[in-house]
Amino acid sequence: MLETVGLTAAEGEVYRLLLGTESASAEEVSGRCGLDAAAVRRLLLALEAKGLAYPVEDSPGWFAAIPPEVALVPRLQRHSEDLDRTRAAVFEMVQAYQRGARARVSGEAIEIISGAAALRQRLRQLQDNTRHEMTWFCKASYVAMSPESNQEQFAAHARGVLYRVLYEQAYFDDPGSVDNVVRGVHAGEVARAVPRLPLRMAVSDRSVAVLPLASSGAPGNPKELKAALVRESSLLEALIDLFERYWEVGAPLRVTEEGRIGGADPEDAASLAAEDRHLLSLMVAGLTDGAIAGQLRVSKRTVQRRIQGLMSLAGVATRMQLGWHAARRNWL
């Protein structure tokens, strides 16, 4: 038990016996512990060397114990401090290893991009290097690259790259957003709309993704913006799957010959009037009643009345239900 403070089991036993008496000789201790006197004498000398016993001056061959609070407690304290330092050193090595392991893993799959300018440059490079398909989650209020400045998309279209883009409804509240979508669709973009998107994201050729790490709002300082570039990994597979799940439920966005969002596909069955299809497409895209009225060149009250009529026709109680019903019935 006393090995941690530097005593052997035999030394510890002799020390305990010595503590029980004022002083004792090797022969006396030998008679109480079962060891021969010569062995006890060697143990007493070892205790003396370790500072736990001392010879009695007027009694040759006799030894007395130094109290444990003097002999052992300081030694135990030093041992505890050494153990604490050793523990701290080991923990530091563990943390250094874990940091290195994380860096190695993240270096393979994830790269952090700092600043809006760096993110904008990466998005341009990503599109320039795309050969087959770009997929996007477009939320309101861009954080690095404005839609009208993204000329790389049109160069990619010219190379035959397919763009599949999902817009959340709040995106259409931004000034000029409708014109940007119309321009993209005219160039070959396939666009859909959903009520809300969980994040901003661009994926190139299903092999690399870029997503800003800011919260849903635009960051206050562009220099503080952080983004993640995700290469081939289980995380990238999950992000691609997330896009496809949202794509499945997205409402298609079409562009009329006049250059406006909405309108019937000529091959659709004529179950609704073209103007009602147009209105539904605008509603599902997330435009406000006022914006729809401006597109259709009618009053806001007329838009609301026509939507109520379509809800009655579909037998639904909410606009969201109307959107799902319209998608299922191919009214869009």
Q: Which residue has the higher pLDDT, 36 or 329?
A: 36
pTM across the whole model: 0.52
In one-letter notation, the amino acid at residue 94 is V
Task: Provide the 3-class DSSP secondary structure of residue 43.
Answer: helix
Name the residue with tokens 């509603």: 283
What are the tens digits of pLDDT across the range 46-73? 888 888 888 888 888 889 888 888 877 8
Structure tokens, 288? 């406000």
Mean pLDDT of the 214-218 span: 56
pLDDT at 99 over 80: no
263: left (phi over 0), alpha (psi -120 to 50) or beta: left
Residue 241 confidence (pLDDT): 92
pLDDT at 268 over 50: no
Backbone angles phi, psi at 97, to 5 degrees: -65, -45
How sure is the predictor about 174, in pLDDT bands with cuts at 50, 70 and 90?
confident
| Contact of 200 with 170, CB cutoff 8 Å | no
Q: Report the b/e string of 188-210 with b at 16+ CB within 10 A.
A: ebebbbbeebeebbbbbeeebbb
Residue 265 confidence (pLDDT): 47
pLDDT at 145 over 90: no
Residue 267 confidence (pLDDT): 42
Residue 122 confidence (pLDDT): 92
